[in-house]
Structure 1
Amino acid sequence: MKIAIVCYPTFGGSGVVATELGIALANRGHEIHFITYKQPVRLALLSENIHFHEVNVPEYPLFHYQPYELALSSKLVDMVKLHHIDLLHVHYAIPHAYAGYMAKKMLAEEGITIPMVTTLHGTDITLVGSHPFYKPAVTFSINKSNVVTSVSESLKQDTLRLFDIKGEIDVIPNFIDAAKHAQDPNFSDCQRSVMATEEERIITHVSNFRKVKRIDDVVKIFYEVQKEIPAKLMMVGEGPEREPAEQLCEELGISNKVIFLGNSNEIDKILCFSDLFLLPSETESFGLAALEAMISGVPVISSNTGGIPEVNKHGVSGYLSNVGDIHDMSRNALKILKDENELEKFKAAAKELALQFDINKIVPVYEFIYQKAFEMT
C-alpha cells in the first residue's frame, strides 16, 4: 500500500507518533510518503520505502499569514497523482484534516478517489480545535474523514463532547518500539556519573515547555524532593516556559541541581540513567513522554488528567495525583526514591506495563483501519 502521512515534523507527540508509525509501516512493506514543511525530527534516514516531500509556501506580501493549508492541499494532490498514493493518513486536525479533505475534492474532480484517515492527538481538539474561530472547520473536517481515530479513550470522549461528530471514533493508543529501547549489554553510553554522584537520584522531565505542561510544578516538586534526598533534575526540551523555570530555580537556590538540556533526539540515553519521571501536566491526551520513560524502566509521577491514567497505573508504574497537588506528587516521589527495593519494584513494573503498548501490537490495528477506510470510500 502507498500511504501519504501528513504531520507536524516537530518534537511534539503527534509528529513523533506519525513518524514512528510511518517507519514501522515501511518495515512491513508499505511505501510511505511524508508530506510536511520539513523533514520530521524522528526521521533520520530515507529509504526505498520511505520518502519525504517538502511543502513550500511562497512568501507574498499580500498575505499577512501565508496560507500553508492551501500549499499543503495542492502538494497532496500533486503527490497522489505522481506517486499513485492509495491513502491519506493525516495527524492532527488543524490544518491537516481540512487540507486533506480539500485535496480529496480536487482529486475527485479528476476521477481519483482516495480514502482519508484522521488521527486526533490532543490540543487539536481540546484547545485549538474547540476555539469558536476553528470549531466549524474542525467539525466539518472530522466528519468528512473516512475513518477517525483518537490516541486515548479520554480524547475520544472529549471530541464527542466538544464537537457534533456524526461517525464512529476508533481508539488506537500511542505506542513504543520496545526493540529500539532494549538495552544492549554492551551499551556504554549510559554514563550516569557524568550527570550525578552515586548517591544522587536522577529525576527527569521531557516536554515542549508550554504552560499546559506546568513546568513550574516540575521544579517545585523537585525542590521538595531534594530537601530530603540528594537528587538532580534533568529538564529536556525547549519552549516558552523554559526561561521562567530557570528563574524559579535561581529563586529557590537549586540552579546547581537542575540541568536544562534543550531538545534532544537521544531521549533514551537520558532516560537510561533516570530514576523517576515527572509529568504534572494540566492535561495530556495520552502521555507519550510517560510511556517513553516507562519502557526505559523509569517510574512516573504524574497528574491524573486526560489519557495519562490509561498509561500510568497508580501504585504500579508510578503514582497519580490531582493537577497542581505538588505536595502529593512530592510525597509519592519520595515514597519511590527513598527505598531501593521500592524503586526497583516500580522500575520493573513500569517497563512491563509499557510492553503492552509495543508498536508490533499497534501497527496491525492501523492496517485494519486502513482497510476499513477503503471499504467506506
Structure 2
Amino acid sequence: MARVLHISEFTKGGIETHLNEVLSYQSGRHDIYLMASEQNSSPDTLQISRSRLQLYPYKRKPAYFLQAMKAIHRKVKDFNPDIVHVHGTFAGVFLRTLFFFKSRRPVVIYNAHGWAFLMDIKPWKQRIFAMVEKALSLRTDYIINISKHEYDMAMHYGLPAGKSGIVYNGVSDTVPSNSPPFETEPGKINLLYVGRFDRQKGFDLLLEVFNEHKFAKVNLYLVGDTVLEEVSYDFPENTVKLGWVDNSQIDRYMKACDAVIIPSRWEGFGIVAIEALRNKKPVIASNRGALPEIIKHGLNGYVFDFNNKLELAAIIHKLDKDTLAAMGQAGLEIFQEKFHSEQMNNQIERLYEDALQKRSGSYTAPVKKYV
C-alpha cells in the first residue's frame, strides 16, 4: 500500500469521470487523498470521502496561482505521500515547480489529460508550452499520455521518451437504468452532445452546421454548459438544452438517443466517446486528437474532417436507425476490448509499482510504453 496524493486543477467534465474511476479502484489498495480547486469541482460527485478531499480557493487567474501552490505545498508536507499523481496542465505546473529545486521529493506521475501545446493556438505558443513541459519533466518520474496521438506529438516536441508511456482512459461497465430522462421522437434521429459549450469542444461548429442545414428529421440534445467563461450562442429550434448532468446519470441520457456527436477542435482523448461505446451508441466524431483511435469510420461511428462542415452535414443527413444500431453493437465490443477501466487501472498500478521499486535518488528507470 502506498500513500498517493492526487492533485487536479478542477474536476468538472471528463476529468471527474477519470478521477472517479481511479479513486474508486485505489480506495481499497492505497492510502489516497485528493486536492482540487473550489472552482468547478463538486465534492458530492467525487468518489472519495470528504475527509480525504481538500478544495483550495482558486480561479484561473495569476493572482490565485501562488495561493494554490502554497496550499499544495502544505498538503504535500502534511500528507507526506509516496506518490503524487497530478492531473492536468495547471496542476502539473504548480506541483512540479515546487519540486524544481528540491533534491528530495515523492514520485511524481504526471498526466496532462491533453497536451497544452496541441491546442489550436499559434505555433510560437505551442513551442513555449512544449519548452515548459520539457523543463518540468526533469521533476517528473513517469508521464502518462492518454493516446498514441498524444505520445507521438510529445516525442515530436522533445519530451523524454524514457519517462513516457501510453495509458488509454477507461470507464467501468454501464449500470442498469430505469426510464429515460426525457422523451424523444421515435420518427427522428436523436443525437446527443455531452461536454462543455466551448471552442475546444467544437460547440460553435456544431451549432453552425445545425443552423445552416436545419435537419428536419434530427433532434439534438445538449448536455453541458459553459465552464470557464460565458458565451452567447444561437441555438437552432431542433436543439434541446439539458444542462449539466450528474455523471452517474449520463448512461440514461445516452441510452435515450440514437448516437453521440463529438465535434472537437482538439481532444486529448474523449471520454464521452468510450462512454457512448459502452452504451452501444455509435459516435460521430471529428478527426482531431485521439478520436480516430477510438472511432473507426463506418464500423462504430463516423469520422469527419473538422475543416469540412459539409462533410459533417452529409453524415447527419444520411443517418438511419438500423445502421446506427448495428454500429452500436460493434462499438460495445471495441469498448470491452480496449477501453474498460480495468485495463487502465491495472496499467496505472504497474506504473506505481515500477516507480516505487526502481526508484533510486531522484529518478526512475525508463517507463514501459503501454499500448
TM-score range, shorter chain: 0.7 to 0.9
Query: Residues 116 and 197 (structure 1 numbering): CA distance in 2 closer, same or farther, change over 3 Å?
Result: same
**C-alpha distance in structure 2 between counterparts of 1:305 and 1:267, whole Å:** 24
Root mean square deviation of aligned Cα: 2.9
Aligned to 1:252: none
Query: Residues 344 and 132 (structure 1 numbering): CA distance in 2 closer, same or farther, change over 3 Å?
Result: closer
**C-alpha distance in structure 2 between counterparts of 1:204 and 1:222, whole Å:** 13
The yes-or-no answer on 1:260 pairing with 2:241 is: yes
Aligned to 1:122: 114
Equivalent pair of 1:286/1:306 in contact (CA under 8 Å): yes
TM-score, normalised by the number of residues in structure 2: 0.83
Aligned to 1:372: 354
Equivalent pair of 2:86/2:111 in contact (CA under 8 Å): yes
What 5-or-longer segments of structure 2 have no aligned partner?
364-371
Query: Residues 77 and 212 (structure 1 numbering): CA distance in 2 closer, same or farther, change over 3 Å?
Result: closer
Q: Which amino acid aligns with 2:178?
A: S
Equivalent pair of 2:16/2:46 in contact (CA under 8 Å): no
Query: Residues 242 and 294 (structure 1 numbering): CA distance in 2 closer, same or farther, change over 3 Å?
Result: farther
Deviation at 1:320, TM superposition (A): 1.1
Deviation at 1:135, TM superposition (A): 4.4
Equivalent pair of 1:5/1:91 in contact (CA under 8 Å): yes
Q: Which amino acid aligns with 2:144?
A: T
The aligned length equals 348
Of all paired residues, the percent bearing the same amino acid is 18
TM-score, normalised by the number of residues in structure 1: 0.81
| Structure with the bigger percentage of helix | 1
Secondary structure of 1:44 counterpart: coil
**C-alpha distance in structure 2 between counterparts of 1:105 and 1:88, whole Å:** 14
Secondary structure of 1:243 counterpart: coil
Which structure carries more relative contact order (alpha carbon 8 Å, separation 6+)?
Answer: 2
Residue pairs, 1:1-377, within 5 angstroms: 1-26=2-27, 28-38=28-38, 40-41=41-42, 44=45, 51-56=52-57, 65-68=62-65, 70-93=66-89, 95-104=90-99, 108=103, 113-127=105-119, 130-131=125-126, 134-165=129-160, 167-178=162-173, 181-182=174-175, 184=176, 187-191=177-181, 194-222=182-210, 227=215, 230-239=217-226, 243-246=232-235, 249=236, 255=237, 257-265=238-246, 266-335=249-318, 337-338=319-320, 340-355=321-336, 356-374=338-356, 375-376=358-359, 377=363
Equivalent pair of 1:97/1:142 in contact (CA under 8 Å): no
Query: Residues 164 and 172 (structure 1 numbering): CA distance in 2 closer, same or farther, change over 3 Å?
Result: closer
Deviation at 1:216, TM superposition (A): 3.4
Equivalent pair of 1:34/1:51 in contact (CA under 8 Å): yes
**C-alpha distance in structure 2 between counterparts of 1:316 and 1:223, whole Å:** 28
What 5-or-longer segments of structure 1 have no aligned partner?
250-254
Q: Which amino acid aligns with 1:287?
A: G
